[in-house]
Amino acid sequence: MSSAADSVNAGRSVSQKRVSRPGQSSTKHYYFGAALVLLGLVLLIFVAPNLIDETRAFRLNKPPDPVQFEFKPPTFVGLAGAFYILVGFLTVLRDRLGSWTRFAAIAGVAFMPLLILAMALGRSDLSGTNVVNLLVSSLFLATPIALGSMTGLWSERVGIINIGIEGTMLGAAGIAYMTYALVGDGAERWALWLSVLVAILVGGLFALLLAVLSIRFGINQIIAGVVINLLALGLTGFLRSQVIVKSGVGTGVATPSFGIPLLSKIPVIGDQLFVGQPINFAMYLVVFLTWLVMFKTPWGLRVRACGEDPHAAETVGINVIRTRYMSVVLGGFIAGLAGAWFSLESSARFEDNMTNAAGFIALAAMIFGKWTPWGAFAGALLFGYADALQTRLQFLKVDIAGFEIPSEFWQMLPFAITILVVAGLVGRATPPAAEGKPFQASQ
């Protein structure tokens, strides 16, 4: 008897927990606001007084006669501290003031990259640093991560977990460079473009393997992803030592940089922001198109329906199996392009395991963005910024009482933030409902 009563009680406490969840989340902004106030106080009391009180500058272009914003680090950081205290209070009082305070909080968070840089300048002997250039290198380094996260989106939104992004990118990077080495002898422009195309197709092939394994054979999708990562690692390593090395084309010519017509003529920033390499630019297009197709077209709606409730989708006449195949392979094409970024754009050569966990980072960026294209893009930018910042900080030789902030700490930061996001501390991230579940068509 008592055990039955216990189990009933257990059941009740479970259901109570479920009910109380939304209640908990409504108090979350108190913690967030308090954290912002605390941050502001720390900046104001501890950080600002310890910065060098000389003029520093954020430059918009290169040193000879730059356009720049001059400031004194203690004043700048002190003002920022005051700003965070204000935003913190606004956030705590959200219930009374209305939801516009959310924008203040977003502005506060968006301001942090610049604040970090200002603090770094306040501990450096250099008089200024180029912020546009930092943005450009962040965007460049974010390219494979943003592309990879779009791959993840196309796959997970249709209900297939894809942890094989890493392998898909690596396979595409390796086979594309092999094509380049064999076909063009490292000289001809058309061979380069052919190789990019090969990369895209190879990406599609790897994704097709994932799709066949998880849709046709219904095997665990995480295992399918592991298989792809392992296979790509072996295959590219094999091809590198057996084909690429023996072809003698160790390095080639990277994709040429070019300026976007009109936009690159904008004074001061145009020749930095709008002159670049093709895959980097293509990334913006892919993110935009992903958003457009996935959220503004009937086909995109079908894709998402298959990821949320495939049985309901089937009932209204959607061919779930075919939609899943198409969406996963489309994602694979995108990962292929990301692979080409590694071996044909950022460096014109292939090394073993050169993607170096970018596929997993892409996954993190996608989750950071709560399975939305623009959110994922923001996540990719965060990772790109962390990557670009650490080289910049090494250049600035920032030190705090003889302790140089190790680059590893900056590299760690985005991963830690992603965990906080996944754990629901910074808004809740919910994956597509039918993700990871095999689907069998009726009849």
Partner 1 sequence: MTNGAAPNGAAPNGAAPNGAASKKITRAFSLQPILVPFYALILAVLVGGVLIAIVGVNPFTAYGYLLKGMFGSPDRIAGSIARSVPFIGSALALAVAFRAGLFNIGAEGQLLLGGVSAAWVGTWAWMADMPAIIAIPIVILAGMLGGGIWGAIPGLLRAKTGAHEVITTIMLNSIGLFGVRWLVSSQKPVVLRDIESTAPRTRPIAEGARLPTFLDSSQPNLHLGLVLLVLAAIAMALLLDRTSFGFEVNTVGLNPGAAKYAGISVNKTIVLVMALSGAMAGLAAASEVSGTSGTFQPGTFAGMGFDGIAIALLARAKPIPIIFSAIMWGSMLSGAPLMQQEADVSIDVVRIIQALVLLLVAADAIVRYIFRVKVETGNEFAASSTVEAS
* Residues in 344-363 at the binding interface with partner 1, rule: CB under 8 A: 357, 360-361, 363
Residue 218 engages partner 1 in binding (rule: CB under 8 A): yes
Task: Report d(CA 72, CA 55) in Å as an integer.
Answer: 5
Scanning 27-35, 136-144, 212-220, 259-267 for contacts with partner 1 by CB under 8 A, the matching segment is 212-220
Q: Cβ of residue 370: shortest distance to partner 1, in angstroms?
A: 12
* Residues in 366-395 at the binding interface with partner 1, rule: CB under 8 A: 367
Burial 123-144 (b: 16+ CB within 10 A, else e): bbeeebbbbbbbbbbbbbbbbb
Find, among 34, 42, 125, 132, the residue nearest to 80 by Cα: 42
Measured from the CB atom, the residue of 93 and 419 that comes closer to partner 1 is: 419
Q: Cβ of residue 236: shortest distance to partner 1, in angstroms?
A: 8
Task: Report d(CA 200, CA 318) in Å as an integer.
Answer: 27
Scanning 37-45, 63-71, 182-190, 398-406 for contacts with partner 1 by CB under 8 A, the matching segment is 398-406
Q: Cβ of residue 347: shortest distance to partner 1, in angstroms?
A: 21
Per CB under 8 A, the list member of 322, 412, 427, 441 interacting with partner 1 is: 412
* Residues in 232-291 at the binding interface with partner 1, rule: CB under 8 A: 233-238, 240-243
CA atoms within 13 A on the CB side of 107: 13
Measured from the CB atom, the residue of 87 and 366 that comes closer to partner 1 is: 366
Give the other-Cβ count within 10 Å of 99's Cβ: 8
Measured from the CB atom, the residue of 10 and 45 that comes closer to partner 1 is: 10
Task: Report d(CA 411, CA 44) in Å as an integer.
Answer: 26
Measured from the CB atom, the residue of 17 and 265 that comes closer to partner 1 is: 17
Q: Cβ of residue 150: shortest distance to partner 1, in angstroms?
A: 18
Q: Cβ of residue 265: shortest distance to partner 1, in angstroms?
A: 41
Per CB under 8 A, the list member of 162, 229, 272, 290 interacting with partner 1 is: 229
Scanning 93-101, 118-126, 288-296, 416-424 for contacts with partner 1 by CB under 8 A, the matching segment is 416-424
Q: For 178, phi and psi rounded to 5 degrees?
A: -60, -45
Per CB under 8 A, the list member of 219, 253, 260, 321 interacting with partner 1 is: 219
Residue 11 engages partner 1 in binding (rule: CB under 8 A): yes
Find, among 112, 78, 110, 108, the residue nearest to 91 by Cα: 108
Residue 328 engages partner 1 in binding (rule: CB under 8 A): no
Q: Cβ of residue 264: shortest distance to partner 1, in angstroms?
A: 36
Read off the amino acid at residue 219.
I
Measured from the CB atom, the residue of 136 and 366 that comes closer to partner 1 is: 366
Per CB under 8 A, the list member of 80, 165, 210, 224 interacting with partner 1 is: 224
Measured from the CB atom, the residue of 274 and 325 that comes closer to partner 1 is: 325
Residue 232 CB contacts under 8 Å (≥ 6 apart), including other chains? 164, 166, 167, 168, 170, 171, 174, 206
Residue pair 387/141 in contact (Cβ under 8 Å)? The answer is: yes
Q: Cβ of residue 28: shortest distance to partner 1, in angstroms?
A: 12
Measured from the CB atom, the residue of 228 and 329 that comes closer to partner 1 is: 228
Residue 226 engages partner 1 in binding (rule: CB under 8 A): yes
Per CB under 8 A, the list member of 16, 26, 220, 297 interacting with partner 1 is: 220
Residue span 137-166 as binding mask against partner 1, x where in contact by CB under 8 A, dash where not: ------------------------x-x---
Per CB under 8 A, the list member of 12, 423, 427, 441 interacting with partner 1 is: 423
Read off the amino acid at residue 395.
F
Q: Cβ of residue 152: shortest distance to partner 1, in angstroms?
A: 11
CA angle 323, 337, 208 (to 5 degrees): 35
Q: Cβ of residue 57: shortest distance to partner 1, in angstroms?
A: 28
Residue 432 CB burial class (10 angstroms; 0-12, 13-18, ≥19): buried
Count residues contacting partner 1 (CB under 8 A)? 59
Residue pair 398/123 in contact (Cβ under 8 Å)? The answer is: yes
Q: Which residues bind partner 1 (CB under 8 A)?
A: 3, 6-7, 10-11, 14, 161, 163, 213, 217-224, 226-227, 229-231, 233-238, 240-243, 357, 360-361, 363-364, 367, 402-404, 406, 408-409, 411-412, 415-416, 418-419, 422-425, 431, 435-438
